[in-house]
Amino acid sequence: MGHPYTIREIARQAGLSEATVDRVLNHRGGVRESTAREVRRAIDDLDRQRTQVRIGGRTFMIDIVMQTPERFSSAVRDALEAELPSLHPAIVRSRFHFRETDPAAELVRDLDRIAARGSQGVILKAPDVPEVTTAVGRLVAAGIPVVTLVTDLPSSPRKAYVGIDNRAAGATAAYLIRQWLGDGPGHVLVTISRGSFRNEEEREMGFRSEMRAARPERRLVEVTDSDGLDSTQRELVRAALERDPEINAVYSIGGGNTATIEAFDALGRDLLAFVAHDLDHDNTRLLGERRLSAVLHHDLRQDMRRACQTIMRAHRALPDEGPFLPSAIQVVTPYNMPPT
């Protein structure tokens, strides 16, 4: 496991003790394979971030904690690491704590570990449930600023929310689907990963309000609790399609879009309009294949830059600024996809 880093540096990146890292690097045994993977992952993270390091810059160790499918956590990691050079002369080190699905207690355990060992800040995507809000309070009480990303925890003492206006995004999706369906028949499938995420709730509210105002007779059919994972989404969508033969459009709030399309294909059903969120690797492919009608996207790199800068301001490393506007919502079609 060749690398140029000290045991102390790897231990800090991994959030482990120096003794544990030493045992892994020197193959002394007595360490779980999952712990060895954390050490290897820390070295990989250090390798990716190494180009940012320069002597004399202030170092910020930031933890990114997210409950989200892998396709979105990968997009967040890529966006952050692409923005690291723009944060000079500060040096930002990042530790990633990603879960696709788990009880909230597991996410709370991650947050409490961070509070115990210390961090310069946390960027958080988490369900809006009381135990998570309380854990954020413990982080802030320990002097660790928290920035919520994509979905907010407004009753928590978080420093700021970074992301789009989710209600406006839902209304935008309704406007687009109305244009494609026109006055024709059909019902709309609305897919949600988990009802406890505030951003998804707000998107659905914006969508339903706009659809109800324009076409109150058009039925909206909800599918939820898939965690945005293809493995669970496929059967949930198929069951909804079998119950309602008039569904011919989709607004995907929570993802799992490959599985949704597969369910339509398996039943030989027409799909006249499909609006989704975020240009992750799945949606980029589906949009290029003309399987999605449009993707509502925002500049994730800008969001990560803003989140890091907010943490720096909390430590008085940057001058204070007024509250910034929500991220711009971009409507991306197969004809205006950004270059990869």
DSSP letter, residue 271: -
Q: Map out the domains of the chain with their CATH numbers.
A: 1-46 (1.10.260), 51-163+300-326 (3.40.50.2300), 166-297 (3.40.50.2300)
Of the candidates 18, 63, 16, 19, the residue with the CA atom closest to the CA atom of residue 37: 16
Tokens encoding 25:
């690097």
pTM of the model: 0.81
Give the pair of three-digit tokens for residue 332: 């991306």
pLDDT in tens, 66-116: 999 998 999 999 999 999 888 877 888 999 999 988 789 999 999 999 999
Q: What is the mean pLDDT of residues 201-225?
A: 95
CA-nearest of 253, 155, 144 to 199 is 253
276-309 residue pLDDT tens: 999 999 999 999 999 999 999 999 999 999 999 9
Peptide bond into 89 cis (omega under 30): yes
The DSSP line for 240-280 is HHHH-TTEEEEEESS--HHHHHHHHHHTT----EEEEE---
Residues in the chain: 340
CA separation for the pair 259, 254 (Å, rounded):
12
Q: How far apart are CA 233 and CA 101, in angstroms?
A: 13
The sign one gets for the Cα dihedral 18, 22, 28, 32 is: positive
Q: Please identify which residue in the block is written with the tokens 């115990």.
A: 116
